[in-house]
Amino acid sequence: MRTAVSLFASGGIGDLSVKAAGWHVLVANELLEDRANVFRSNFPETLMINGDIRLLESEIISKTKGLLKGKELDLLFATPPCQGMSKNGRGKLLKGIRDGLKPKLDERNQLIINAVNCIKALKPRLVVFENVPEMEYTVIESLKGELVNLLEWVKQSLEPEYSGSWAVVEFADYGVPQRRQRLITIFSRDPVLKKELSNNGTLMPVKTHAKDPTLFQKKWVSVDDAISHLPFLDAKNVKSAASSVPFHYVPLLDEDKYFWVSNTPPGKSAFDNQCINPHCKSQHNQTHRATHNADGINQASKETPVRCQMCNELLPRPWVRNGDEVRIMSGFTSSYKRMRGDLPASALTSNLSYACSDQKIHPRQHRVLSLKEAFILHTVDNFFFIWLRADGKKISDKTIREIIGESIPPSGLKVIFDHLSKFSGAQTNKHLKNYTEQSATV
């Protein structure tokens, strides 16, 4: 049986794909207790080491070696926290240096060093990192005190024993009904995988789906394809906001929010809603806009009209009341936006149950997504996964949303692990063949 270690494991959603592709997770590490307890419920055979990797690095290494009993580790899978990563990180840091200022680094980005320490000590045949695309531009402070690009530092730290590459992956391109982009980084010391990387420049599998399908690719899986079979829900009152299907319920919307949402067409934001006065129905009111200020910060317009520019009736747009005064609410152009049923969902975040979040309103029904719909769109429902804590404590909806928001769709990741598994299998078969031939000559 092939073996794996999982770092920054959260609730274990990513590890579903590791297990399904044929690796047994021997040891896992997760900082937060609630995540670790959800992981234990789903991977009872795995040793979960709960706590800060900076304090537990030695224990992770020693416990893994003890369980391996002298055998090689096949895979190390790591998903470091992404909150401190930024596309603008390198530019801001360099500007700070030029201005004579000591830049402030997010210490969470330094956790990659502990992961690399584990790699060097355990020497897995394959290493897979998963993170947000911004990881490609993130800067850390090396052990020498130098500011370096995170991925370039990892590459230099593992060479020449390991070869690797990274690429931004759109998971809708692997049949996931969700547009979720992630940076997948793969390193290996396996001769077969290193040869494949040398020949093709990548270890990523061929895309199976596309927005515009071809002879070799299927059409993206849409929201309608994935969740249209579920019972109807409506966020107007308690009776219509829940069903008998577990986790298929939604929070109520107050009267104003329901008014805005119910008048929002698919693919549009409530900020762009037009006049519904039957005597006017003007479709020419200025829509919501955003511009970058002098500091490069994206700011939404505060001049977006909340009253019809033709008849002066209130538009069904997000507003704030201050006595008799009504003004437009501050919000991004993607806020209060209804998703399109003919496309995959936008990336699910921990705010998936909030109408004001980015494209989280159901394509036709007047509500946000239910947790059940999130499980389907995130492909968790394609695997056996229980939303329980091993310590018996109740798991909150908030924790469930956070685990989904910080994880990767396991069905898409399984395509990648299945692809890598083929090469790993080829190497294993080669060793078996050599052993058989040698035995036959003795």
SS3 labels along the chain: CEEEEEECCCCCHHHHHHHHCCEEEEEEEECCHHHHHHHHHHCCCCEEEECCHHHHHHHHHHHHHHHHCCCCCCEEEECCCCCCCCCCHHHHHHHHHHCCCCCCCCHHHHHHHHHHHHHHHHCCCEEEEEECHHHHHCEEECCCCCEEEHHHHHHHHHCCCCEEEEEEEEHHHHCCCEECEEEEEEEECCHHHHHHHHHHCCCCCCCCEECCCCCCCEECCCHHHHHCCCCCCCCCCHHHCECCCCCCECCCCCHHHHHHHHCCCCCCEHHHCCCCCCCCCCCCCCCCCEEECCCCCEEECCCCCCECCCCCCECCCCEEEECCEEEECCCCCCECEECCCCCCEECCCCCCCCCCCECCECCCCCCECCHHHHHHHCCHHHCCCCCCCCCCCCCCHHHHHHHHHCCCCHHHHHHHHHHHHHHHHHHHHHHHHHHHHHHHHC
- Which has the higher per-residue pLDDT, 249 or 105? 249
Is pLDDT at 85 greater than 80 in this prediction? no
Highest mean pLDDT among 103-112, 285-294, 372-381: 372-381
- Whole-angstrom Cα distance, residue 167 to residue 51? 30
Is pLDDT at 345 greater than 90 in this prediction? yes
- pLDDT value at residue 334: 84
- pLDDT value at residue 430: 43
Is pLDDT at 407 greater than 70 in this prediction? yes
- pLDDT value at residue 438: 35
Mean pLDDT check: name the lowest of 94-98, 238-242, 324-328, 371-375.
Answer: 94-98
- pLDDT value at residue 83: 59
Asked whether 178 and 382 are in contact (CB, 8 A), the reply is no
CATH of domain 2-217+409-441: 3.40.50.150
Is pLDDT at 92 greater than 60 in this prediction? no
- Which has the higher per-residue pLDDT, 162 or 298? 162
- pLDDT value at residue 441: 36
- pLDDT value at residue 437: 36
Is pLDDT at 178 greater than 50 in this prediction? yes
- pLDDT value at residue 107: 75
Mean pLDDT value of segment 21-30: 97
Kindly state the percentage of the chain with pLDDT values over 70.
Answer: 88
- pLDDT value at residue 223: 98
- pLDDT value at residue 109: 77
User: Given pLDDT bands bounded at 50, 70 and 90, which one contains residue 93?
Assistant: low
Mean pLDDT check: name the lowest of 30-44, 88-102, 195-209.
Answer: 88-102
361-392 pLDDT, tens digit per residue, is 999 999 999 999 999 999 999 999 999 999 99
- Which has the higher per-residue pLDDT, 303 or 205? 205
- pLDDT value at residue 88: 44
Asked whether 106 and 150 are in contact (CB, 8 A), the reply is no
User: Given pLDDT bands bounded at 50, 70 and 90, which one contains residue 141?
Assistant: confident
Quote the mean pLDDT of the chain. 89
The structure tokens 């955003």 sit at: 290
Q: Phi and psi (nearest 5°) for 363?
A: -55, -35
Q: Where are the domains of the chain?
A: 2-217+409-441
Mean pLDDT value of segment 43-61: 98
User: Given pLDDT bands bounded at 50, 70 and 90, which one contains residue 442?
Assistant: very low
211-252 pLDDT, tens digit per residue, is 999 999 999 999 999 999 999 999 999 999 999 999 999 999
- pLDDT value at residue 99: 65
- Which has the higher per-residue pLDDT, 135 or 127? 127
Is pLDDT at 440 greater than 50 in this prediction? no
Mean pLDDT check: name the lowest of 179-193, 199-213, 275-289, 426-440.
Answer: 426-440
